[in-house]
Copies of this chain bind each other. A is one copy, B any other.
Amino acid sequence: MVEHKGIIKDNVMIQISDLWNLLSSKEKKYLYDKMEVFNYKRGETIYAEGQTPHKMYCLLHGKVKIFKEGIGGRCQIIRVIKPVQYFAYRAYFAAENFVTTAAAFEDAQICSIPMKDIESISRGNNGLAMFFVKMLAVDLGISDKRTVSLTQNHIRGRLAESLLFLKENYGLEEDDSTLSIYLSREDLASLANMTTANAIRTLSVFSAEKLIAIDGRKIKLIDEWQLHKIARIG
């Protein structure tokens, strides 16, 4: 992780304007000096399970995964972050240590803000408090839905769902069919709750069925409608 000293912070303020605009000029001034911007390398850990939370983050550029290590070191990706999204605030608000780990999928630029200050400002700024209420409420709904689909859907359904999710979340390349994120088979497996071997195998099957086309880590969605069907009923 490298601190990005030279950056013009004012650009960051524009990026995080959804949060920034909720603050009074006094609050803005106060936070301005406390904020930092860091660059993380591909694969680098941002925070780890068990650590005590001190700052929240906002992803400015890149892609980040939030995951949890389970039985026998098997990782489960809990959610993924895209620019401009906030993360790492949950544990502090819950007065807990982190229960997840965050790492960069690819090189990422991340802005950090001390949670102590975020919390104290939230206690006097309703807009900010409600901002977090909204985000937490949305994430909890996603998490609840995910619990059921990960446990009840079959392998084909889970993979199809994950591919569609990646499209929804990170979008497509200019050709309008290739996923914009190039995940390793292992990460894809962690997302769809299966072993790496099964992710590879099932991708091959999807490819043979002309639902997708694979070229290394490039995945092109061909028959999205069919993928949706598989995601729903298996």
Contacts and interface: CB of A to CB of B under 8 A. Distances in A.
Interface stretch (A120-128, A175-183, A207-215, A217-225): A120-128
Contact of A90 (B71, B137, B193): B137
Interface string A124-162: 111001101110111111011111111111000000000
A136 B99 CA distance: 15
A70 to B, nearest CB: 4
A15 to B, nearest CB: 23
A172 to B, nearest CB: 25
A166 B80 CA distance: 31
A99 B138 CA distance: 11
Contact of A99 (B95, B96, B144, B151): B144
- Copy tally for this chain in the complex stands at 2
A2 interface: no
A193 B78 CA distance: 18
A27 to B, nearest CB: 14
Nearest to A98: B141
B141 A139 contact: no
B71 A138 contact: no
A93 B134 CA distance: 6
Nearest to A143: B143
Interface string A55-84: 000000000000010110010101000000
Nearest to A79: B144
Given A93-B134, A136-B133, A70 B152 contact: yes
A144 B132 CA distance: 18
A134 B132 CA distance: 10
A99 B68 contact: no
Contacts of A234: 71
Contact of A129 (B90, B99, B126, B145): B126
23 contacts: A70-B148, A70-B149, A70-B152, A76-B147, A76-B148, A76-B151, A76-B152, A78-B147, A90-B140, A90-B141, A91-B141, A95-B134, A100-B144, A123-B126, A129-B130, A129-B133, A133-B133, A133-B136, A136-B137, A136-B140, A140-B140, A147-B147, A151-B151
